Amino acid sequence: MNGKGRTGRPLKNGPKRIKKIDVRFTQDEFDAILELEKTLGISKAELVRSRLLENVKTMVINAKELIVLLDKTGAEIGRCGNNINQLARYANILNKRDLLSPVVIERFNNLFETYLKNQQALDSILRKVIRMAGI
C-alpha cells in the first residue's frame, strides 16, 4: 500500500457467503417482501436471511404429524379419565356396602395424584409446543 490509505469497500468480518439458494415467490408474496424491505430498511437477502435463521435452534414442526400425535394423546387421556370414573364408581359401590379397604382408598388417591401431576406436565408441554409452532 506504500503508506497510502485504502479506499473502496471495507473488508467484511466473518466468513464469506458463498452458497446461494434460489426461491420463487408469487406476486403477492414478493410484494409483501418489498413492503417489508421498505419498512425495515434492509435488503431482501438480509430480510429473508434474518427471518429464516432468527430461531434456527427451534424445531420445524410437521403439522400433520403433530395433529395425529395430539389426537392420539387426547384419546389416551380420555381412556384414562374413563378408567378413573369406573374405579371411582366401583369404589362408591364398595363403600356403600362397607367393603372398601382404607388401603385401596390410599392407593387410589396416590395414583390419582400422580395422574393429575402428569396431566399438568402434559398441559405445560403442549403449551410450549403450541408456542413453538406459532399457532
Q: Indicate whether 2 pLDDT > 60.
A: no
pLDDT tens-digit readout, 102-117: 988 888 898 889 889 9
Q: What is the mean pLDDT of the chain?
A: 83
Closest CA to 73 of 39, 109, 121: 121
Among the ranges given (7-21, 52-66, 67-81, 87-101), the one the predictor scored with the smallest mean pLDDT: 52-66
Is the predicted pLDDT of residue 55 greater than 70, yes or no?
Answer: no
Domain boundaries, the chain: 22-57, 63-133
Share of the chain above pLDDT 70, in %: 87
In the predicted structure, residue 101 carries a pLDDT above the cut 80:
yes
pLDDT at 96: 93
Residue labelled with grid coordinates 409483501: 32
CB atoms within 10 A of CB 94: 14
* Residue burial 100-127, b: 16+ Cβ < 10 Å; e: rest: beeeeeeeeeeeeeeeeeeeeeeeeeee
Report the distance separating Cα 129 and Cα 115, nearest Å: 21
Confidence tier at 60 by pLDDT (50, 70, 90): low
Confidence band, pLDDT 50/70/90 cuts, at residue 27 = very high
Least confident of 12-26, 45-59, 61-75: 45-59
